[in-house]
Amino acid sequence: MATRAKRQPRIEPTFGETGSSLLDLRLGPQDRPSAPSGKKTSKTKGRKSSKTNSSKKPAAKKSSPSRRGQPKKSTTSRRSGRSGSKRRSQKRKNRFQARTAFGRLLKRGLYWSMVLGIWGSIAVVCIIGYYAAFLPPTSEWQVPARPPNVKIVASNGGLIANRGDTGGEAVRLEQLPPYLPNAVIAIEDRRYRSHIGVDPIGLARALYTNVTAGRLTQGGSTLTQQLAKNLFLEPDRTIKRKIQELVLAFWLEAEYSKDEILEMYLNRVYLGSGAYGVDAAARRYFGKSARLLTIPEAATIAGLLKAPSRYSPARNPDLAEDRAQLVLAAMHEEGYITAGEAKNALAAPAQVVRRYTTASENYAADWVMDVLPHFVGSIEKDIIVDTTIDPAMQSAAETALRSALEENRQTLGVSQGAIVTLDTAGAVKAMVGGADYSKSQFNRAVYAKRQPGSAFKPFVYLAALENGLTPQSVRQDKPITIGGWSPKNYTKQHYGAVTLTRSLSLSLNTVAAQLAYEVGVGTVASTAQRLGITSDMKKNLSLSLGTSEVTPLEIASAYVPFSNGGYGVLPHIIRRIRTVDGKTLYSRSGDGRGRVVARGAVGNMNLMMAETLMTGTGRKARLDSGRPAGGKTGTSQDFRDAWFIGYTGNLTTAVWFGNDNNSPTKKATGGSLPAIVWKEVMDKSHDGLPVADLPGVPNLPASVSAPRKPVSNATVGSGSEPIPPAPIGGDPELGERRGPLNLLRNLFGGG
């Protein structure tokens, strides 16, 4: 094996001449960083233990130029200085690391917040887009027309009622007192004038309130959102409806001004008791137009918006007042009213007018709505209906009926009544369909069919007169039996031979049955129909005693020909129908049925009917003014119905009392309570009217004519089979041949 070459010593590179005067670029020990105290490297130890001589001194013993002339520090102080510097350095390092970690965390939080915000925005946009897709195209969006209102006014122009889906008129914002819309804004949407359809602050507050309460206690919807919901959407609580509400609210804000949106809202919002819009609510609760509301009344209506039924002043006046006080405080806080106005409003709270729900005019208004489609068909815009109702007569009828029921409810066992008054043309001047409209909206004056009792007898007597008899014709009042039927008088007494005038005034059933038998039940029925009875009538002899049911309105209209000289009428309540801008849609014209009774027969009937008030069963109905009047009492079987129908040369009024369940009264008769009420109504209704004589009343001498067909106790026919009268002549005016009427016309100047 070859021997290993001896390692040559390392030759350091030199630059230029070698010598001490040249710059030595190699690092010496003094130029290297010192090791930490107490931890010597092996090289350092090696150097200290070496005893070899060196031409150069160790670097540690050399003093640097910067430290020359300074005392040498001890090793202990040098170590402690190094330790304090280390601690300070460590603290700075910890603080730096903490700041760095917080910065990294903040950056991460901002980053992920931005990421989540972006994705959340995308998700919201997608959800909104999804549910908005169920809406019609924006080109088809339009605010639906407000349901038309029907304003029903009396003959003097005064308001009777508003009818329709809203129950009130549409009013312009500038027509309202400023504190009404301000009250709504103050309590419902304080930032209404500044937001764009959605109020983020209000929404956040509502969300916080609901979360802390653990239930839904507050809503964050703006007035614009509420309007959007009312106009376009169903009132369900779903995310779909809420998102569509937001979209539509933005659209409304873009299409309409703030005032226009507020006006639409105030005219359409539901405010309880069937009232839609502030005008309907003002009339419902305070009996006035919204244009005339006071500050406390405006606050009360604004308070209804949260819960119309709960805060209704008609149902919960205390809660309504508390809510109104909260509204007043909000109005003052927002600067809409002064402190003095707020104090005055708190000291004098709004008072509810209950007459709106109880007023008898509502019966007339309901009838108007029932017949209105026959005149104008469908209603597409607000209209005004001028009626024939006279407010003074209406008030007189309502007052008389309610007072009578209150005083006699227990003693006479009557719980309901009806009154209707017509003029000589058949125009309804007053109509009371019941005791209290708020408790029962059934209009008994128009729709209740009840047995008229003896009030039907004038048609029997008129048929007899038209078949040749006179007011002085005599019949025997005695017990009779006709076809197995034995009618009896109310008094159970008999008067023997009596004139037709006397028998009608005393309301003798036996004579009425005899007359119906003589002329025929069919003739009696056709006579009643000719004058205005429209209900079905049973063709048997009991018809003469009023066993077939009629309504107060139709029997009153059938009495009008006695008042106007023999002309049939069509009872009516509408005079004219016009739009709010003055266009006439309907105006009444025509003369009704024309002549239905000859003038002579009218005069004779008036003579007989006047006697009823003078000496007969209707004496309590005699008018204080001494006006000529005629009428007839009526009491149905078992005292179930009590009537008085009477007339003057100006007006005809029918009065009925009874019970809705058709139960018997405590012997209430037509000559008692109905006659008294009729007198009271007619006395007041004739204030200011000229005195008019009854048409065609002749000054007849007392005479007796023999009966054409005497009736004895024997059975002479079947009660269900009318026996036709003997053939007699006729009257050209009636289109029939009835000879004895010609004789009466020649004797007494009748028509």
Q: Among 155, 169, 188, 360, which one carries the catalytic annotation?
A: 188
Dihedral sign of CA atoms 178, 179, 180, 182 in order:
positive
H or E element in which residue 431 lies: strand 428-432
d(CA 620, CA 671): 7
d(CA 397, CA 433): 10
Closest C-alpha among 467, 544, 516, 543 to residue 723: 516
Per-residue exposure over 342-351, b if at least 16 CB sit within 10 Å of its own CB, e if not: beebbeebbe
Count CA atoms within 13 Å of residue 498 on its CB side.
23
Closest C-alpha among 257, 258, 295, 262 to residue 277: 262
Q: Which residues, in sequence order, are CB contacts of 482 under 8 Å at separation 6+?
A: 513, 517, 541, 711, 715, 716, 717, 719
Q: Among 454, 505, 507, 557, which one carries the catalytic annotation?
A: 454
188 is catalytic: yes
d(CA 554, CA 85): 118
Task: Order the strands of the 642-647 sheet from edge to edge.
Answer: 428-432, 416-423, 651-658, 642-647, 630-635
d(CA 703, CA 474): 9
Any idea what DSSP says for residue 311?
T
- Between the two ends of the chain, the Cα-to-Cα distance in Å is 177
Count of residues in the chain: 751
Residue written as tokens 């009392």? 657
- Going from the C-alpha of 312 to that of each of 278, 374, 578, the distances in angstroms are 14, 36, 34
- Going from the C-alpha of 382 to that of each of 151, 171, 337, 470, 495, the distances in angstroms are 8, 12, 34, 55, 63
CB 483 within 8 A of CB 719: yes
64 is catalytic: no
Any idea what DSSP says for residue 687?
T
Dihedral sign of CA atoms 601, 476, 481, 615 in order:
positive
d(CA 311, CA 309): 6
CB 597 within 8 A of CB 683: no
Q: Which residues, in sequence order, are CB contacts of 131 under 8 Å at separation 6+?
A: 239, 240, 243, 244
Strand 159-164 with 496-499, pairing = unpaired
d(CA 635, CA 630): 17
Burial class of 658 by CB neighbour count within 10 A (0 to 12, 13 to 18, 19+) = buried
Residue written as tokens 């609210």? 249
d(CA 194, CA 178): 18
Per-residue exposure over 118-142, b if at least 16 CB sit within 10 Å of its own CB, e if not: eeeeeeeeeeeeebeeebeeeeeee
CB 592 within 8 A of CB 426: yes
CB 644 within 8 A of CB 633: yes
Closest C-alpha among 411, 489, 459, 461 to residue 665: 411
Here the tokens at position 314 are: 């008609």
d(CA 487, CA 532): 26
Q: Which residues are catalytic?
A: 188, 454
